[in-house]
Amino acid sequence: MLELVVTPYERRTLTTRAAGVSRIIAGKRSCEITRELWLSPQTISTLKKALREKTYRSYRERGKTERKAKVYHSDKKGGARDFRRKVRTKYGPVYLP
């Protein structure tokens, strides 16, 4: 029945995540799980959160409420910003007018 509903890639993903959950419950460290199952640290962190909260929420779903907005620049000095174009050279940064 499972073969009719999901693709081979989805089956492999489900089985590796199930194996990751079993290893987390067994008390293995994240780096060991990463080496054994080739799961990313983000996936392992998501599985730990799912075990803690008793439900799974996708990265996209969590992003609506938990993730912070990206900061593309910061005015820590509070003064005027430098709008000149910076070019990196082997001698260091050079500012163009």
What per-residue confidence (pLDDT) applies to 75? 56
What per-residue confidence (pLDDT) applies to 94? 84
What per-residue confidence (pLDDT) applies to 91? 85
What per-residue confidence (pLDDT) applies to 76? 57
Cβ neighbourhood burial of 20 (10 Å; 0-12, 13-18, 19+):
buried
pLDDT tens per residue, range 13-70: 999 999 999 999 999 999 999 999 999 998 999 899 889 988 887 777 877 777 677 7
Q: Is 32 within 8 Å of 22 (Cβ atoms)? A: no
Specify the higher pLDDT residue, 73 or 87.
87
What per-residue confidence (pLDDT) applies to 38? 94
